[in-house]
Structure 1
Protein backbone atom coordinates (compact mmCIF):
# COMPACT_ATOMS: atom_id res chain seq x y z
CA UNK A 1 0.00 0.00 0.00
CA UNK A 2 1.19 3.53 -0.73
CA UNK A 3 2.79 5.42 2.13
CA UNK A 4 5.35 8.07 3.03
CA UNK A 5 8.70 6.87 4.31
CA UNK A 6 9.48 9.37 7.07
CA UNK A 7 13.05 8.09 7.35
CA UNK A 8 13.82 9.80 4.02
CA UNK A 9 14.28 13.54 3.54
CA UNK A 10 11.93 15.47 1.25
CA UNK A 11 13.65 16.55 -1.98
CA UNK A 12 12.12 19.63 -3.63
CA UNK A 13 11.89 19.58 -7.40
CA UNK A 14 11.97 22.60 -9.70
CA UNK A 15 8.70 22.95 -11.57
CA UNK A 16 7.72 25.21 -14.48
CA UNK A 17 4.02 25.96 -15.00
CA UNK A 18 2.62 26.73 -18.44
CA UNK A 19 -0.93 27.92 -18.99
CA UNK A 20 -2.21 27.50 -22.53
CA UNK A 21 -4.95 30.00 -23.29
CA UNK A 22 -5.92 32.43 -26.02
CA UNK A 23 -7.74 34.67 -23.56
CA UNK A 24 -6.25 34.56 -20.05
CA UNK A 25 -3.71 36.87 -18.48
CA UNK A 26 -1.59 36.01 -15.46
CA UNK A 27 -4.04 37.78 -13.13
CA UNK A 28 -6.92 35.68 -14.53
CA UNK A 29 -5.06 32.37 -14.57
CA UNK A 30 -6.89 30.44 -11.86
CA UNK A 31 -5.71 26.99 -13.01
CA UNK A 32 -2.06 27.99 -13.19
CA UNK A 33 -2.38 29.63 -9.79
CA UNK A 34 -3.84 26.43 -8.31
CA UNK A 35 -0.75 24.57 -9.48
CA UNK A 36 1.65 27.25 -8.23
CA UNK A 37 -0.02 27.38 -4.81
CA UNK A 38 -0.02 23.61 -4.44
CA UNK A 39 3.54 22.97 -5.61
CA UNK A 40 4.92 25.68 -3.35
CA UNK A 41 2.81 24.51 -0.41
CA UNK A 42 4.26 21.02 -0.91
CA UNK A 43 7.80 22.47 -0.66
CA UNK A 44 8.74 22.44 -4.34
CA UNK A 45 10.29 25.35 -6.25
CA UNK A 46 8.50 27.37 -8.92
CA UNK A 47 11.21 27.49 -11.59
CA UNK A 48 9.24 29.48 -14.18
CA UNK A 49 5.70 30.37 -15.22
CA UNK A 50 4.31 31.44 -18.57
CA UNK A 51 1.09 31.83 -20.50
CA UNK A 52 1.02 30.99 -24.20
CA UNK A 53 -1.74 30.95 -26.81
CA UNK A 54 -3.09 27.70 -28.23
CA UNK A 55 -0.37 27.44 -30.88
CA UNK A 56 1.28 24.05 -31.21
CA UNK A 57 4.66 25.33 -32.43
CA UNK A 58 4.91 27.92 -29.63
CA UNK A 59 3.98 25.38 -26.97
CA UNK A 60 6.47 22.81 -28.29
CA UNK A 61 9.21 25.45 -28.46
CA UNK A 62 8.59 26.47 -24.85
CA UNK A 63 8.61 22.86 -23.71
CA UNK A 64 11.93 22.31 -25.52
CA UNK A 65 13.41 25.42 -23.86
CA UNK A 66 12.43 24.16 -20.44
CA UNK A 67 13.63 20.62 -21.20
CA UNK A 68 17.04 22.08 -22.13
CA UNK A 69 17.19 24.07 -18.89
CA UNK A 70 19.03 22.07 -16.19
CA UNK A 71 17.24 24.16 -13.54
CA UNK A 72 13.86 22.59 -14.42
CA UNK A 73 12.92 19.05 -13.41
CA UNK A 74 9.19 19.06 -14.18
CA UNK A 75 6.86 20.98 -16.51
CA UNK A 76 3.14 21.08 -15.84
CA UNK A 77 0.88 22.66 -18.41
CA UNK A 78 -2.80 23.45 -18.01
CA UNK A 79 -5.27 24.03 -20.82
CA UNK A 80 -5.65 22.87 -24.38
CA UNK A 81 -6.25 19.18 -23.64
CA UNK A 82 -9.83 19.02 -24.87
CA UNK A 83 -11.35 18.05 -28.19
CA UNK A 84 -11.88 21.36 -29.96
CA UNK A 85 -9.87 22.51 -32.95
CA UNK A 86 -7.78 24.93 -30.86
CA UNK A 87 -6.86 22.26 -28.29
CA UNK A 88 -3.30 21.39 -29.34
CA UNK A 89 -1.42 21.05 -26.05
CA UNK A 90 -1.40 17.26 -26.11
CA UNK A 91 0.02 17.24 -29.64
CA UNK A 92 2.66 19.80 -28.62
CA UNK A 93 3.67 17.62 -25.67
CA UNK A 94 3.86 14.53 -27.85
CA UNK A 95 6.08 16.48 -30.29
CA UNK A 96 8.76 16.53 -27.59
CA UNK A 97 8.23 13.30 -25.60
CA UNK A 98 10.91 10.65 -25.69
CA UNK A 99 8.62 8.37 -23.69
CA UNK A 100 4.98 8.77 -22.83
CA UNK A 101 3.78 7.89 -19.34
CA UNK A 102 0.65 6.10 -20.54
CA UNK A 103 -0.72 5.34 -17.08
CA UNK A 104 -0.77 9.04 -16.13
CA UNK A 105 -3.74 9.70 -18.43
CA UNK A 106 -5.43 6.52 -17.27
CA UNK A 107 -5.05 7.35 -13.58
CA UNK A 108 -6.18 10.92 -14.23
CA UNK A 109 -9.31 9.57 -15.93
CA UNK A 110 -10.04 7.31 -12.96
CA UNK A 111 -9.66 10.26 -10.57
CA UNK A 112 -11.85 12.44 -12.83
CA UNK A 113 -14.56 9.80 -13.11
CA UNK A 114 -15.02 9.99 -9.34
CA UNK A 115 -15.57 13.76 -9.59
CA UNK A 116 -17.31 14.42 -12.93
CA UNK A 117 -18.51 11.01 -14.10
CA UNK A 118 -18.41 10.16 -17.77
CA UNK A 119 -17.46 13.73 -18.72
CA UNK A 120 -13.93 12.54 -17.88
CA UNK A 121 -13.74 10.99 -21.36
CA UNK A 122 -13.37 14.48 -22.84
CA UNK A 123 -9.97 15.06 -21.23
CA UNK A 124 -6.74 14.05 -22.91
CA UNK A 125 -4.45 14.60 -19.93
CA UNK A 126 -1.02 13.17 -20.68
CA UNK A 127 2.43 12.77 -19.21
CA UNK A 128 5.84 12.01 -20.61
CA UNK A 129 9.59 12.37 -20.31
CA UNK A 130 12.12 14.18 -22.49
CA UNK A 131 15.73 15.16 -21.83
CA UNK A 132 15.51 14.08 -18.20
CA UNK A 133 12.45 16.29 -17.58
CA UNK A 134 8.95 15.17 -16.68
CA UNK A 135 6.11 16.82 -18.60
CA UNK A 136 2.42 16.73 -17.71
CA UNK A 137 -0.48 18.27 -19.64
CA UNK A 138 -3.61 18.89 -17.55
CA UNK A 139 -7.02 20.26 -18.46
CA UNK A 140 -7.59 23.98 -18.04
CA UNK A 141 -10.04 23.89 -15.16
CA UNK A 142 -8.98 24.64 -11.57
CA UNK A 143 -10.80 21.49 -10.43
CA UNK A 144 -8.87 19.28 -12.83
CA UNK A 145 -5.58 20.85 -11.70
CA UNK A 146 -6.51 20.26 -8.06
CA UNK A 147 -7.43 16.65 -8.79
CA UNK A 148 -4.25 15.93 -10.76
CA UNK A 149 -2.04 17.52 -8.11
CA UNK A 150 -3.83 16.23 -5.00
CA UNK A 151 -4.41 12.69 -6.21
CA UNK A 152 -1.36 11.99 -8.39
CA UNK A 153 1.43 14.55 -8.64
CA UNK A 154 1.85 15.49 -4.98
CA UNK A 155 2.58 11.82 -4.28
CA UNK A 156 4.67 10.99 -7.33
CA UNK A 157 6.76 14.15 -6.91
CA UNK A 158 7.54 13.29 -3.28
CA UNK A 159 10.77 11.34 -2.86
CA UNK A 160 9.41 9.77 0.31
CA UNK A 161 6.40 8.19 -1.44
CA UNK A 162 6.52 4.39 -1.49
CA UNK A 163 6.60 1.94 -3.10
CA UNK A 164 8.02 4.22 -5.83
CA UNK A 165 7.93 7.78 -7.16
CA UNK A 166 9.10 9.92 -10.08
CA UNK A 167 11.74 11.80 -8.07
CA UNK A 168 13.88 8.79 -7.24
CA UNK A 169 14.48 8.05 -10.92
CA UNK A 170 15.21 11.61 -12.11
CA UNK A 171 18.97 10.90 -12.18
CA UNK A 172 18.35 7.96 -14.55
CA UNK A 173 15.90 9.60 -16.97
CA UNK A 174 18.64 10.63 -19.38
CA UNK A 175 21.01 7.70 -18.87
CA UNK A 176 20.53 6.68 -22.51
CA UNK A 177 22.15 9.99 -23.55
CA UNK A 178 25.34 9.42 -21.56
CA UNK A 179 28.35 7.52 -22.84
CA UNK A 180 28.85 4.03 -21.57
Structure 2
Protein backbone atom coordinates (compact mmCIF):
# COMPACT_ATOMS: atom_id res chain seq x y z
CA UNK A 1 0.00 0.00 0.00
CA UNK A 2 1.33 3.45 -0.83
CA UNK A 3 1.97 6.05 1.84
CA UNK A 4 -1.15 7.89 2.99
CA UNK A 5 -1.28 11.63 2.32
CA UNK A 6 -2.33 14.03 5.10
CA UNK A 7 -5.64 14.63 3.27
CA UNK A 8 -6.48 10.93 3.58
CA UNK A 9 -8.72 10.67 6.64
CA UNK A 10 -7.15 7.28 7.45
CA UNK A 11 -3.77 8.90 8.07
CA UNK A 12 -3.28 9.69 11.75
CA UNK A 13 -1.89 13.17 12.37
CA UNK A 14 0.78 13.17 15.09
CA UNK A 15 0.03 15.74 17.80
CA UNK A 16 1.73 17.46 20.69
CA UNK A 17 -0.68 18.67 23.38
CA UNK A 18 0.42 21.39 25.79
CA UNK A 19 -1.60 22.75 28.69
CA UNK A 20 -0.41 26.18 29.83
CA UNK A 21 -1.49 26.77 33.42
CA UNK A 22 -0.16 27.66 36.83
CA UNK A 23 -2.75 25.44 38.51
CA UNK A 24 -3.40 22.38 36.31
CA UNK A 25 -1.91 18.99 37.04
CA UNK A 26 -2.21 15.71 35.19
CA UNK A 27 -5.05 14.82 37.58
CA UNK A 28 -7.18 17.91 36.85
CA UNK A 29 -6.26 18.86 33.27
CA UNK A 30 -9.78 18.53 31.84
CA UNK A 31 -9.01 20.54 28.69
CA UNK A 32 -5.96 18.44 27.87
CA UNK A 33 -8.10 15.34 28.46
CA UNK A 34 -10.74 16.63 26.01
CA UNK A 35 -8.15 17.31 23.31
CA UNK A 36 -6.55 13.90 23.76
CA UNK A 37 -9.84 12.00 23.83
CA UNK A 38 -11.32 13.74 20.78
CA UNK A 39 -8.07 13.47 18.82
CA UNK A 40 -7.70 9.75 19.56
CA UNK A 41 -11.36 9.13 18.73
CA UNK A 42 -10.72 10.82 15.37
CA UNK A 43 -7.81 8.41 14.80
CA UNK A 44 -4.90 10.72 15.55
CA UNK A 45 -1.75 9.91 17.50
CA UNK A 46 -0.48 11.77 20.57
CA UNK A 47 3.31 12.07 20.45
CA UNK A 48 3.49 13.82 23.81
CA UNK A 49 1.30 15.66 26.28
CA UNK A 50 2.76 18.18 28.71
CA UNK A 51 1.79 20.86 31.21
CA UNK A 52 3.82 24.01 31.79
CA UNK A 53 3.33 27.24 33.74
CA UNK A 54 2.06 30.50 32.22
CA UNK A 55 5.59 31.66 31.41
CA UNK A 56 7.00 32.55 28.02
CA UNK A 57 10.23 30.63 28.57
CA UNK A 58 8.43 27.44 29.64
CA UNK A 59 6.13 27.56 26.62
CA UNK A 60 9.06 28.19 24.27
CA UNK A 61 11.03 25.22 25.61
CA UNK A 62 8.20 22.80 24.78
CA UNK A 63 7.33 24.54 21.50
CA UNK A 64 10.93 24.44 20.27
CA UNK A 65 11.26 20.75 21.19
CA UNK A 66 8.16 19.88 19.19
CA UNK A 67 9.17 22.08 16.27
CA UNK A 68 12.41 20.08 16.09
CA UNK A 69 10.58 16.73 16.36
CA UNK A 70 10.07 15.49 12.80
CA UNK A 71 7.17 13.28 13.91
CA UNK A 72 4.99 16.07 15.34
CA UNK A 73 2.69 17.51 12.67
CA UNK A 74 0.38 19.67 14.79
CA UNK A 75 0.63 21.34 18.19
CA UNK A 76 -2.47 22.02 20.27
CA UNK A 77 -2.10 24.38 23.21
CA UNK A 78 -4.81 25.02 25.78
CA UNK A 79 -4.63 27.89 28.24
CA UNK A 80 -3.02 31.29 28.51
CA UNK A 81 -5.09 32.86 25.72
CA UNK A 82 -7.16 35.28 27.81
CA UNK A 83 -6.43 38.86 28.79
CA UNK A 84 -5.05 38.22 32.27
CA UNK A 85 -1.60 39.54 33.12
CA UNK A 86 -0.14 35.99 33.20
CA UNK A 87 -1.79 34.94 29.90
CA UNK A 88 1.22 34.93 27.56
CA UNK A 89 0.53 32.05 25.18
CA UNK A 90 -0.47 34.30 22.28
CA UNK A 91 2.50 36.65 22.69
CA UNK A 92 4.78 33.62 22.83
CA UNK A 93 3.53 31.62 19.85
CA UNK A 94 2.49 34.22 17.25
CA UNK A 95 6.04 35.39 16.44
CA UNK A 96 6.73 31.80 15.31
CA UNK A 97 3.91 31.81 12.73
CA UNK A 98 5.04 31.66 9.12
CA UNK A 99 1.40 31.46 7.97
CA UNK A 100 -1.19 32.89 10.40
CA UNK A 101 -4.68 31.37 10.10
CA UNK A 102 -6.70 34.45 11.06
CA UNK A 103 -9.95 32.73 10.12
CA UNK A 104 -9.55 30.24 12.96
CA UNK A 105 -9.72 32.88 15.69
CA UNK A 106 -12.52 34.72 13.94
CA UNK A 107 -14.62 31.58 13.53
CA UNK A 108 -13.85 30.37 17.04
CA UNK A 109 -15.01 33.64 18.59
CA UNK A 110 -18.15 33.61 16.43
CA UNK A 111 -18.98 30.06 17.48
CA UNK A 112 -18.20 30.87 21.12
CA UNK A 113 -20.51 33.87 20.92
CA UNK A 114 -23.39 32.04 19.27
CA UNK A 115 -23.09 28.60 20.93
CA UNK A 116 -21.43 29.10 24.28
CA UNK A 117 -20.59 32.27 26.21
CA UNK A 118 -22.19 35.16 24.35
CA UNK A 119 -20.36 38.48 24.50
CA UNK A 120 -17.62 37.01 26.73
CA UNK A 121 -16.26 35.50 23.49
CA UNK A 122 -14.53 38.81 22.79
CA UNK A 123 -12.12 38.06 25.64
CA UNK A 124 -10.67 35.06 23.81
CA UNK A 125 -7.49 35.56 21.83
CA UNK A 126 -7.52 32.00 20.45
CA UNK A 127 -5.40 31.75 17.33
CA UNK A 128 -3.81 29.33 14.90
CA UNK A 129 -1.13 29.30 12.28
CA UNK A 130 1.44 27.35 10.38
CA UNK A 131 5.00 27.23 11.63
CA UNK A 132 6.91 25.91 8.67
CA UNK A 133 5.30 22.51 8.02
CA UNK A 134 3.52 22.25 11.38
CA UNK A 135 0.10 23.53 12.43
CA UNK A 136 -0.38 25.20 15.81
CA UNK A 137 -3.68 25.92 17.54
CA UNK A 138 -3.81 28.02 20.72
CA UNK A 139 -7.10 27.45 22.56
CA UNK A 140 -8.63 28.75 25.77
CA UNK A 141 -8.28 26.78 28.99
CA UNK A 142 -12.00 26.05 29.23
CA UNK A 143 -12.81 22.42 28.43
CA UNK A 144 -16.12 23.50 26.87
CA UNK A 145 -14.28 25.94 24.56
CA UNK A 146 -11.72 23.26 23.68
CA UNK A 147 -14.49 20.80 22.79
CA UNK A 148 -16.17 23.43 20.59
CA UNK A 149 -12.92 24.23 18.75
CA UNK A 150 -11.96 20.60 18.29
CA UNK A 151 -15.35 19.42 17.03
CA UNK A 152 -16.33 22.39 14.87
CA UNK A 153 -13.00 23.67 13.52
CA UNK A 154 -9.84 21.68 14.17
CA UNK A 155 -10.80 18.06 13.56
CA UNK A 156 -12.84 18.74 10.41
CA UNK A 157 -9.90 20.59 8.78
CA UNK A 158 -6.77 19.13 10.39
CA UNK A 159 -5.91 16.79 7.51
CA UNK A 160 -6.35 19.57 4.97
CA UNK A 161 -4.27 22.06 6.97
CA UNK A 162 -1.39 19.60 7.40
CA UNK A 163 -1.60 18.73 3.70
CA UNK A 164 -1.43 22.39 2.68
CA UNK A 165 1.60 22.97 4.91
CA UNK A 166 3.45 19.91 3.55
CA UNK A 167 2.29 19.51 -0.07
CA UNK A 168 5.48 21.06 -1.45
CA UNK A 169 7.26 17.82 -0.45
CA UNK A 170 4.98 15.60 -2.56
Q: Please report the TM-score for the alignment, with normalisation by the length of structure 2.
A: 0.90
Contact preservation (8 Å) 1:67, 1:132: no
Change in CA separation of 1:167 and 1:132 when aligned onto 2, cut-off 3 Å: closer
Contact preservation (8 Å) 2:12, 2:43: yes
35-44 or 122-131: bigger deviation: 122-131
Change in CA separation of 1:102 and 1:9 when aligned onto 2, cut-off 3 Å: closer
- Secondary structure of the structure 1 residue equivalent to 2:27: helix
Unaligned runs of 5+ in 2: 1-7
Residue number in structure 1 paired with 2:59: 59
The answer to whether residue 146 in structure 2 is matched with residue 145 in structure 1 is yes
Residue number in structure 1 paired with 2:15: 15
Contact preservation (8 Å) 1:81, 1:87: yes
CA distance in 2, matches of 1:50, 1:66: 11
1:9 deviation in Å? 4.9
95-104 or 17-26: bigger deviation: 95-104
- Secondary structure of the structure 1 residue equivalent to 2:129: strand
1:170 deviation in Å? 3.4
Unaligned runs of 5+ in 1: 1-7, 160-164
Residue number in structure 1 paired with 2:165: 170
Matches within 5 A, 1:77-156: 77-114=77-114, 115-156=116-157
Contact preservation (8 Å) 2:73, 2:162: no
CA distance in 2, matches of 1:97, 1:9: 25
10-19 or 60-69: bigger deviation: 60-69
CA distance in 2, matches of 1:146, 1:9: 20
Structure 1 vs Structure 2 CA RMSD: 1.4
